[in-house]
């Protein structure tokens, strides 16, 4: 995959879509502090922009937060655009230090249109113990279809974070993975769905944590988990 290095080499329709997605991704970053998933500059949201001329997805781009900029200063213009190798294609700032992990996910999971990473407190607390969150709430069965799994310990610098995310999520119905000693990454059909998964991941991490502080939560039978998950994914919300 040798993607062109500047935006002018991409189709006009894609450039227009990027302008729209810059606003979507910038606005969604405001949800992270609103739901208390991040402090200071931590956390990032990205969304894929498909390339209509290259159906295999290898020439897609994605819009992501710039590195080390505080949430109050984020604007659509300050967002950056990268190709699926994580190389900067458009933007006046450096991309988030987690860009390589986002890029790996988009390269290997073509159905994923949005990725979110946070250090949200309760999810990160489970991640620090390397312990999956058991599925003991009906809302967890609805949204995650089972436990929230743990990914391997991996540090920044090569593909090991991205690979850990992808390998863990491929074996799970969960759109969230707790990377060990690090924090959650979530995926979705678009950035908004990935933000919702990040919000719900922290919510179930907190509720199950608190429940376990005073005893053991009661398990939900697998057939009920399956039934709840199936119904929620197919029926819930407005058509």
Residues with a catalytic annotation lie at: 142, 236
Which among 1-9, 19-27, 52-60, 178-186 is the span making contact with a copy of itself, rule CB under 8 A?
178-186
CB of 119 to a copy of itself, least distance (A): 5
Rank residues 9 and 231 by Cβ distance to a copy of itself and give the closer one.
231
**87 touches a copy of itself (CB under 8 A):** no
Work out whether 210 is an interface residue with a copy of itself (CB under 8 A).
yes
Q: Which two tokens stand for residue 27?
A: 């606005």
Residues of span 110-169 touching a copy of itself by CB under 8 A? 119, 121-122, 124-126, 128-131, 136-139, 153, 155-157
What DSSP letter does each residue of 36-101 carry, written as one string?
T---TT--EEEEEE--TT-TTSTT-EEEEPBTT--GGG--GGG-EEEETT--EEE-SS-B-TTHHH
* Range in contact with a copy of itself (rule: CB under 8 A) among 14-22, 109-117, 162-170, 214-222: 214-222
With binding defined as CB under 8 A, does residue 1 bind a copy of itself?
no
Distance CA 87, CA 156 (A): 16
**Total residues interacting with a copy of itself, rule: CB under 8 A:** 61
Residue 97 interacts with a copy of itself (CB under 8 A)?
A: yes
CA 125, 207, 171, 48 torsion-angle sign: negative
Contacting range for a copy of itself; rule: CB under 8 A; set: 3-11, 12-20, 38-46, 100-108: 38-46
Nearer to a copy of itself, 5 or 210 (CB): 210
DSSP state string for 126-183: HHHHT-PBP--SHHHHHHHSSPBPEEPP--BTBSHHHHHHHHHHHT-S-SEEEETTTE
Rule CB under 8 A: say whether 73 interacts with a copy of itself.
Answer: no
Query: What is the distance between the alpha carbons of residues 15 and 6, in angstroms, rounded to a whole number?
Result: 11
Q: Please, what is the minimum distance in Å from the beta carbon of residue 199 to a copy of itself?
A: 6
Nearest in space to 201 (alpha carbons), one of 188, 186, 191, 212:
186
Distance, in Å, from the CA atom of 30 to the CA atom of 209, rounded to the nearest integer, reads 26
Q: Are 233 and 189 in contact (CB under 8 A)?
A: no
Q: Which of 2, 12, 213, 234 binds a copy of itself (CB under 8 A)?
A: 213
**Residue 216 corresponds to which tokens in the numbers above?**
């053991």
| Contact residues for a copy of itself, defined by CB under 8 A | 35, 39-42, 66-69, 93-94, 97, 119, 121-122, 124-126, 128-131, 136-139, 153, 155-157, 180-183, 196, 199-200, 203, 206-218, 220, 224, 227-228, 231, 235-239
């Amino acid at each position: 995959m040798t993607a062109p290095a500047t935006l002018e080499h991409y189709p006009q329709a894609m450039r227009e879509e990027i302008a729209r997605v810059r606003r979507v991704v910038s606005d969604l970053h405001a949800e992270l502090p609103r739901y208390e998933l991040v402090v200071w500059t931590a956390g990032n949201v990205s969304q894929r922009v498909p390339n209509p001329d290259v159906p295999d997805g290898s020439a897609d781009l994605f819009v992501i937060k710039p590195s080390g900029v505080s949430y109050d200063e984020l604007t659509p213009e300050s967002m950056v655009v990268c190709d699926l190798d994580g190389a900067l294609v458009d933007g006046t700032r450096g991309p988030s230090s987690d860009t390589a992990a986002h890029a790996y996910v988009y390269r290997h999971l073509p159905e994923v249109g949005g990725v979110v990473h946070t250090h949200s407190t309760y999810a990160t607390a489970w991640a620090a113990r390397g312990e999956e969150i058991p599925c003991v709430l009906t809302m967890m069965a609805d949204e995650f279809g089972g436990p929230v799994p743990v990914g391997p310990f991996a540090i920044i610098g090569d593909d090991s974070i991205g690979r850990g995310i992808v390998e863990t999520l491929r074996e799970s119905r969960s759109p969230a993975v707790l990377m060990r000693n690090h924090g959650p990454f979530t995926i979705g059909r678009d950035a908004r769905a990935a933000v919702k998964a990040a919000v719900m991941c922290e919510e179930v991490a907190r509720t199950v944590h608190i429940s376990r502080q005073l005893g053991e939560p009661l398990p939900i039978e697998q057939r009920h988990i399956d039934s709840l998950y199936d119904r929620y994914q197919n029926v819930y919300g407005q058509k």
